[in-house]
Structure 1
Amino acid sequence: MGKTKILIVDDHRVVIEGIKSALSVYPDLEIVGEALNGHQAIKKVKSLSPDIVIMDISMPDLNGIDATLQIKKMEPNIKIIIFTMYSNREYIIDLYKAGISSYILKKEPMSELVNAIKAVESGGTFFSGVASEVLFNYVKELDEAKEPKLTDEFETLSLREREVFQGLAEGKSVKEIAEILGISRKTVETHKYNIMEKLHAQNVTDLTKLAIRKGIIQI
């Protein structure tokens, strides 16, 4: 049986090195690549075909939530472990619905991440205590209501609109966003208009406030 190939995605080099160090003692695990944001992660998934992606949430250019959505759409069978400082209910539920295999908090011992990898390797799932509690309550609510209650205007944005949204919220110009995403300025302008309409935003400042509130960008 071959080694399990792992891609680490985090915008902090010290976190990447910490994970690499912790996993170096396991000969059946191979770190095949690193990425510092969601866009890099998507490219590395295409080129390296990892079995497992260890994914942070808050990253520049493209956050871990939207990167996860794109990766799972592109490679449904890939296993994604969220490794983050955030325990927000909204994040946990959104990522659970996206098909992640594990959700671990960075404040947990590194052994928890190792346990998650081992569980995911064998086809299982692994959620930290906080995430498990959130998901238990969420499933219970679904059973009671028979339908999700957690949709909002932001969830109506397409994956491409989410990319443009983050760029705008980060203060990037239409030209910069077009270059990053490899699309025309006119297309970015169209997405911007649709985003403003869907979110009932008056200006980019409103988008930035929403992005901060949802943890997509940090102050």
Structure 2
Amino acid sequence: MSNSLIIFQEAEFIGEAIRCLLVSWQLFENVFIVRELKELNSQLRDTSGPVILLPSEIPTKSIQELILQIRERDSTSRIIIFVQQVSQNCINNLPEEIPEGVINQNDPLEEIFSAFRKVIHGQFYFSKSIENRSLQKPGKRTGKKDRNGLTPRQREVLCKLAEGYTVKEIAEMMKLSAKAIDSQKYRIMKKLNLNDRVRLARFAIREGMIDP
């Protein structure tokens, strides 16, 4: 897995400011800035397993759809959502396909630095300022993740894996690509710290997700 960062930012000044900060932190060997979706797709073809910094809103495409496309292209990529303006609408529209990180531009620099370090090392980070805001008001996002950090879609994939279905069969049932399901499987195992399907099945039975 490469130690590269792709910054998707349409505003040239903001993108360059982020790049300069991250270069000074020396967290990545390579830092690329792309301003259009076609540039992002081109860079993804040339970069394996990058960290990708996405804005929380893109005028021409939903973040949910974009994350799914990135996952299908490279299931080892790690995604961080960069929130510039925290609002309830922004929180409600955060993707169900949980990225590895969500950061707020108003967070202290040491927290943002920590967020990037965690994602680089395979951990997850969700800005405390956004998490606290999401708990203050009811919204579409409330209750999406269970106590194990799984989204409804990930729980559905987990149940089908535990019941013995193959990745291809699950993809057909859920009308998704096999790559997308394989990516979900990888992230489920990573979140639960389980490394094979037998342990996944035992977990699902123990949690009451499927019958023994």
Q: TM-score range by the shorter chain?
A: 0.5 to 0.7
The TM-score with structure 1 as length reference comes to 0.54
In the other structure, the counterpart of 2:73 is 74
User: The residue matched to 2:30 in structure 1 has which SS?
Assistant: strand
The Cα offsets for residues 46-68 of structure 1, whole Å up to 9 and x where unpaired, read as 12235200111323443544222
Q: Residues 49 and 76 of structure 2 are in contact (CA less than 8 Å); yes or no, is this contact kept in structure 1? A: no
The CA distance in 2 between the partners of 1:65 and 1:138, in whole Å, is: 18
In the other structure, the counterpart of 2:61 is 62
In the other structure, the counterpart of 1:44 is 43
In the other structure, the counterpart of 1:16 is 15
Read off the aligned partner of 2:102 and give its amino acid letter: Y
Query: Following superposition of structure 1 onto structure 2, how do residues 138-217 of structure 1 map, counting pairs within 5 Å?
Result: 138-139=143-144
Read off the aligned partner of 2:131 and give its amino acid letter: S
CA shift, 1:121, in A, is 1.1
CA shift, 1:131, in A, is 3.9
Q: Residues 8 and 54 of structure 1 are in contact (CA less than 8 Å); yes or no, is this contact kept in structure 2? A: yes
Read off the aligned partner of 1:102 and give its amino acid letter: G
In the other structure, the counterpart of 2:96 is 94
The CA distance in 2 between the partners of 1:62 and 1:132, in whole Å, is: 24
Q: How many aligned positions are there?
A: 144
The CA distance in 1 between the partners of 2:112 and 2:63, in whole Å, is: 17
Q: Residues 32 and 50 of structure 1 are in contact (CA less than 8 Å); yes or no, is this contact kept in structure 2? A: no
1:33 aligns with 2:38: no
The TM-score with structure 2 as length reference comes to 0.56
CA gap 1:36/1:63 in 2 versus in 1, 3 angstroms: farther
Which ranges of structure 2 fall in alignment gaps of 5 or more residues? 136-140, 154-174, 177-212
Identity of aligned residues (%): 19
The CA distance in 2 between the partners of 1:18 and 1:40, in whole Å, is: 19
Which ranges of structure 1 fall in alignment gaps of 5 or more residues? 149-157, 160-219
Read off the aligned partner of 1:91 and give its amino acid letter: N
CA gap 1:77/1:50 in 2 versus in 1, 3 angstroms: closer
User: The residue matched to 1:124 in structure 2 has which SS?
Assistant: coil
In the other structure, the counterpart of 1:166 is none
Q: Residues 53 and 80 of structure 2 are in contact (CA less than 8 Å); yes or no, is this contact kept in structure 1? A: yes
The CA distance in 2 between the partners of 1:61 and 1:114, in whole Å, is: 29
User: The residue matched to 1:42 in structure 2 has which SS?
Assistant: helix
